[in-house]
Amino acid sequence: MGIYDLTVTAIDGSTRAMASYRGHTLLIVNVASACGYTPQYAGLEALYRKYKDAGLVVLGFPCDQFGHQEPGTDAEIQGFCTATYDVTFPMFSKIQVNGADAHPLYRLLKSQKKGALGLELIKWNFTKFLVGPTGTVLARYGPGDTPEAIEKDIRHLHEMGQWVNS
């Protein structure tokens, strides 16, 4: 099973096929509204706005598994993201990224690109996965890797023609 075989639930409750993102470069992030890394929403939105016409899509997946830092409902999360950071990139319903109830998308991402010491475990909010237009996980970034710091990798992919605008 690949990434494009999966479905996800958008923050408005609608179902979205990951296949709809085929041909795009994706930056998939587990996010939280009350985390020390929450200001990264601004950088994620900036990346999305800068590269979306070239085919980059940032996908935000709220997660409350780390220090109860995403306690709100989907509607509250959406309201916070819009009002505080003017988030326009796609947001999804709250999920789990670790454990027996981890969302299949995160099981796949973690299996394709392990973290520190070869572990699959997501250590905290704002772990990021860069996925190429064919669905291959290209890179995994820790929570401390800011959107500004990883822009060089995104820019490099774009300049090398590693993604297309579909």
Catalytic residue numbers read: 35
Comparing CA positions, the residue from 111, 68, 72, 123 lying closest to residue 93 is 72
Contact status, residue 128 vs residue 89, Cβ threshold 8 Å:
no
Stated length of the chain: 166
CA gap 154, 139 in Å, rounded: 10
Here the tokens at position 109 are 């991402």
Comparing CA positions, the residue from 12, 89, 84, 32 lying closest to residue 56 is 89
Contact status, residue 79 vs residue 87, Cβ threshold 8 Å:
no
